[in-house]
Structure 1
Amino acid sequence: MLDKEKEAFLESVYQSAFDYERDYGYCTQAVIAALDDHFKKIDKEVIKAIHPLAGGGALVGDGTCGALVGAMAAIGCYFGRSKKEFENNSEDWRFSSKLAKKVREKFVEEFGSVICNDVQKEKFGRGYDLWDSEDNKAFNEAGAHEDKCPDVTGKAAEFTAEILLEEGIETAHS
């Protein structure tokens, strides 16, 4: 893929994730859905399985940002260990963690933390309790699903797509 093609491809991945999060919420699913649109071989059940991991896990904000969780789950879709391979305790299985760590490092460089509430503070100036109705309302009024969370989601998907391309994962259109 030429540099301009790669740049356009990564922008398309970013925009897909941005749009999914803006339109449907749940950053974890938005990342996986965008990567599923652009790459081959993501099991559709993964999108369903990661639904409750958004918003720091169970929407509580004190865990890992769902966009990063979705990004790392996508890495696992390609490079993770299957149940059949549990007994093969090879160092080779650290490879998926190595790639996920690369995504994590880019994420921390961009947002300063992996914790959902910390990312919220970076983007909004404060964290929110998404289970509190007034806080949830303030979160949405502050642009949560207009540009702030969609941007985080788009960047997480873009960081992941770049790594998948580097590792030779086939795009959906190749």
Structure 2
Amino acid sequence: MEKSKKELLDKAFKLGEKYEKENTGCAQTVIAAIFDTLGIWNEDVFKAASGLADGLGLTGDGACGSLVGASMVISWLYPREKKNFKDMMAPMKAYALVKKLHDQFVEIYGTCRCYDVQKKLMGRTYNLWDQKELNEAFSSGMMEHCSKVVGNAARLAVQIILEDKEKQ
């Protein structure tokens, strides 16, 4: 029996939240949640997100890794391939869907930058390369906050993907 859209969106959120709490690495955990929800997998996309957590390389100074990872899945599903690399219009579908994801994410968090999401949710940012601040981040509930961000990004991406499939 096919799952309802609501069930899939709930599954995406729950998996994103679970994977972030268990494994960390928001870009990879959101990819795994989206892929597992949709019943697909691409190891290369998953591996390519290895260094993208916490605003790129644990710096906080970039887009939220869950937003980047979710964008990677959309881009993989709506690609411009090497054979049409010169076609500037080929990635327009991916651009449009990723923009929709970005806009919805920003509507929730007011920003897409990792540090700014941290400030909004936890009142400050953390340097995860500093052991003392890493410990403070964990004791402040960062995992709980970030797991919900990953869950939301997974749910948003799955919703965008399903709505696009419904239009086809």
- For the aligned pair, the TM-score class normalised by the smaller chain equals over 0.9
1:96 and 2:89 equivalent?
no
Q: Give every structure 1 segment of 4 or more consecutive aligned residues whose post-TM-superposition deviation is greater than 2 Å.
A: none
Residue 41 and residue 87 in structure 1: after superposition, are their counterparts in 2 closer, same or farther (change >3 A)?
Answer: farther
Structure 1 Cα separation of the partners of residues 160 and 27 of structure 2: 18
RMSD across aligned positions (CA) = 1.8
Residue 116 of structure 1, aligned match among 114, 117, 126: 114
- Provide the residue aligned with 2:133 in structure 1: 135
Alignment of 1:17-166 (within 5 A): 17-89=16-88, 91-145=89-143, 147-166=144-163
Structure 2 Cα separation of the partners of residues 168 and 41 of structure 1: 15
Q: Which segments of 5 or more consecutive residues in structure 1 lack a partner in the other structure?
A: 170-174
User: AA paired with 1:167?
Assistant: D
**What does the per-residue CA deviation read over 1:100-129, in whole Å, with 9 as the maximum and x for residues that have no partner?**
000001110111111000000111111111
Aligned residues: 166
Once the two structures are TM-superposed, the CA of residue 81 in structure 1 deviates from its matched residue by 1.1
Structure 2 Cα separation of the partners of residues 36 and 160 of structure 1: 11
User: AA paired with 1:117?
Assistant: Y
Q: Which segments of 5 or more consecutive residues in structure 2 lack a partner in the other structure?
A: none
Matched-pair identity in %: 36
Contact 1:107 / 1:156 at 8 angstroms: preserved in 2?
yes
TM-score, normalised to structure 2's length? 0.93
Contact 1:18 / 1:154 at 8 angstroms: preserved in 2?
yes
TM-score, normalised to structure 1's length? 0.90
Contact 1:42 / 1:74 at 8 angstroms: preserved in 2?
no
Once the two structures are TM-superposed, the CA of residue 24 in structure 1 deviates from its matched residue by 0.3
